[in-house]
Copies of this chain bind each other. A is one copy, B any other.
Amino acid sequence: MFMPRKRVAILGATGYGGSELLRFLLFHPGVTVARLTSRQHPGVPVHEVHPNLLKVTDLKFENLSPEEAAEGVDMVFSALPHGASQDSVRRLPERVKAIDLSGDFRLKDAAVYRDAYGHEHNAPELLGHFVYGLTEFNRRAIAQARRVANPGCFATGALLALLPLAHAGALEGAVTVAGVTGSSGSGAEAKPGTHHPERAAAFRAYKPLVHQHLPEIAQELARAGAPEARISFVPHSAPMVRGIHITAVLHPAEPLSLDTIRSIYASHYGEEKFVRLRPQPPDVAVVAGSNFADVHCHGDGRALVVLVALDNLVKGMVGQAIQNMNLMLGFPEATGLEFPGTRP
């Protein structure tokens, strides 16, 4: 790497998105973290909020406007919450590239956005300017984009499960998707649903059939040639910290052989760095902390099961965002992301 380092800024860097971006970007050989914004903690050293970063960085949070944060940087990540992000991202100068980690710019249709998130979009005119950042399927568009909307964690898992079938014209009829998330998906703020005494041994569904990632999944399946696919999505909370697990079950009218199914997935993922086809069902513990998504398919001639495991904060969020950054800034796609998970 003899070229000068690119400079990046992070808006809203005190949450888990900020924490994970820093964990990767501070060791990325091609970038320098130039600025971190926080309204709540201006002037505070990063390690006071992210204690894992003591002796790792001397950066401090700053209370900056989006315009100020973007000054002189090449890339801005917005790790602001849904709803708040759109107000900041719209103010970023056209010149600077940006990746939004929130749900604000994933949907192309402002009406669909309103139904999913329960309020009007403040910058509907920008929705068309964002490329959906599912790296493995949108690589070329992302590489040329100035604005990327990073996918939701459940959507990443569900789309990695279903897009190969959609592209193969094999996604039809009713598809059941059971999703499971770890508690870190709820963010860094303490809430009743993540209160340790009540979460530590809990397993429960929430928002059955109405989760806000569903329209995002439907939109991308439609773009891949499966506009008729009807997804019944039931998300669940499990008592682990990290992980998205997807169990997709289909009952195709014309059953595919297991060989056919596996060759469809192999053609998409065989050469991928970060998507791994496994001979056994994947485990979120095996991908935790890493940018890998593990996939397994099984069928019995009648039903077809696709299983995906990934880390919600990495492949489902920050790792995928850095894959996208690498493409947008001209680095090899896997730069800074190759570390595996741990055993145990």
Contact = CB atoms under 8 A, between A and B. Distances in A.
A257 interface: no
A340 B241 contact: no
B338 A176 contact: no
A27 B339 CA distance: 8
A81 to B, nearest CB: 16
A4 interface: no
A204 B283 contact: yes
A5 interface: no
A230 B199 CA distance: 34
Contacts of A302: 174, 230, 232
A201 B303 contact: no
How many identical subunits does the complex contain? 4
Contact of A286 (B51, B182, B183, B188): B51
Contacts of A190: 190-192, 194-195
B343 A241 contact: no
A298 interface: yes
A104 B140 CA distance: 55
Contacts of A44: none
A229 interface: no
Contacts of A278: 51, 54
A222 interface: no
A309 interface: yes
A285 B241 CA distance: 12
Interface in A168-220: 174, 176, 178, 180, 182-184, 186, 188-192, 194-206, 208-210
Contacts of A202: 240, 283-285
Given A180-B203, A283-B204, A302-B230, A16 B241 contact: no
A324 interface: no
Contacts of A51: 278, 283, 286, 343
B19 A342 contact: yes
A124 interface: no
